[in-house]
Amino acid sequence: MKAKNWLWLGPDPELSDDDWRRRLGQLKNAGFDAILPEVFNNSKAFWASEHLPVVAPVLERLIPLAHAAGIEVHAWSHIMTCNIPDVMEAHPEWYDVSRKGESTRDKPPYVGYYRFMCPSRPGVQQFLQTRMKELARIEGLDGIHLDYIRFPDVILAEALQPKYDLVQDSEFPEYDFCYCDLCREGFREQHGIDPLTDLEDAPASDAWFQYRCDLISRLVNEDLTPIGRAAGKQMTAAVFPNWRHVRQEWHKWEVDAVLPMLYNGFYNEDLQWIGEHCASGNARMQDVGVSKPLYSGLYLPDVPPEQLQQAIDVSMQAGAAGVSLFSQGSLEEGHLQVMQRYFG
């Protein structure tokens, strides 16, 4: 089976159609089959949305240009993060609450944009479904790509912790989500106990861990994916290798493909680690009877052109169906040359 290769990219409304044609032609010649333009960045939309703040309808302009170059377009949207001032003001209850009792709306962990919404909330579910319906109606759009479809990282990747002056050797309460009243009530209905007040060690509870994984999986499988599928769109997701730390049991998701972000530098790992996680991701899906392509997500700042061929090799040998590169802003001419030699 021929490999399929992807590129995450910014929408850049300032680019002319001719600039896009030139870039898309370069990408096609280098062996890229699909692009993932960022159409919602947690605060603004880049299509003609009727319910989100809009920068410009870049997506609608980009689709015919990409198709003319022989490239698919998959709309990359942040899902659980929302920094829209009107939403934050009108719906403070939509946001995750930590074990410490702090809302991501008021005290986002790590960085200011980490305002994650709670998957238990009917209002959040409807808000996200509205977005899926808008994207699903866009003529010619090939797919919808779900990103930030998870809880906040309860433990950051190893190389990122020093940047925040952290040593996370356990699940600290200020990073452990979600303990809002609705999540606690739902768990109590299933298990007869309150995860906040009745569990002596909540992070050690397999049932509480599984409950939160199931909240995200239900959102993907029941609320979001069916909307895109009904309109003939491919549904894909950006997912974590350290999936337990974000309650993201993506090997059970009913999407058309997964793009794990195998950013080896974030974990102080070498390129072989990328192959190991391609293999383990495929194995987890196989264990639960799920069959879908896995595309190895490579972080270009940690994979310079002279290392790209090895990163592709270890990915493909471990069962990846292709690679997805993050992102166009870090794509060098040397990367394009390696891709063209390998796939062009």
pLDDT, one tens digit per residue, over 27-36 is 999 999 999 9
Whether 120 is covered by a domain: the verdict is yes
The pair phi, psi for residue 289, each rounded to 5°, is 75, 25
What string of pLDDT tens digits covers the 344 residues of the chain?
689 999 999 999 999 999 999 999 999 999 999 999 999 999 999 999 999 999 999 999 999 999 999 999 999 999 999 999 999 999 999 999 999 999 999 999 999 999 999 999 999 999 999 999 999 999 999 999 999 999 999 999 999 999 999 999 999 999 999 999 999 999 999 999 999 999 999 999 999 999 999 999 999 999 999 999 999 999 999 999 999 999 999 999 999 999 999 999 999 999 999 999 999 999 999 999 999 999 999 999 999 999 999 999 999 999 999 999 999 999 999 999 999 999 97
Whether 180 is covered by a domain: the verdict is yes
Whether 112 is covered by a domain: the verdict is yes
Whether 1 is covered by a domain: the verdict is no
- Name the domain count of the chain: 1
Cβ(179)–Cβ(98) below 8 Å: yes
**Dist CA 302 CA 304 (whole Å):** 6
**Dist CA 119 CA 109 (whole Å):** 18
Closest listed residue to residue 294, CA positions, set 232, 344, 250, 230: 250
The crossing angle, in degrees rounded to 10, of helices 305-317 and 333-343 is 40
The domain containing residue 52 runs over which residues? Answer: 6-343
The residues pairing with 73 across neighbouring beta strands, listed in sequence order, are: 35
Residues 6+ positions from 291 with CB-CB distance below 8 Å: 285
CATH of the domain at 138: 3.20.20.80
Whether 285 is covered by a domain: the verdict is yes
**Dist CA 61 CA 23 (whole Å):** 14
Q: Residue 61's CB: how many other CB atoms inside 10 A? A: 16
Whether 277 is covered by a domain: the verdict is yes
The CA-based dihedral angle spanning residues 122, 126, 128, 133, taken in that order and rounded to the nearest 10 degrees: 160
**Dist CA 262 CA 148 (whole Å):** 15
The pair phi, psi for residue 163, each rounded to 5°, is -65, -25
pTM of the complete model: 0.98
Cβ(32)–Cβ(21) below 8 Å: no
Q: How many residues does the chain have?
A: 344
**Dist CA 78 CA 305 (whole Å):** 28
Q: Rounded mean pLDDT of the chain?
A: 98
Residues 6+ positions from 61 with CB-CB distance below 8 Å: 17, 20
**Dist CA 243 CA 163 (whole Å):** 21
Cβ(321)–Cβ(33) below 8 Å: no
**Dist CA 302 CA 253 (whole Å):** 28
Cβ(199)–Cβ(208) below 8 Å: yes
The two structure tokens encoding residue 149: 């479809």
Whether 105 is covered by a domain: the verdict is yes
Whether 108 is covered by a domain: the verdict is yes
Residue with tokens 């997805």: 324
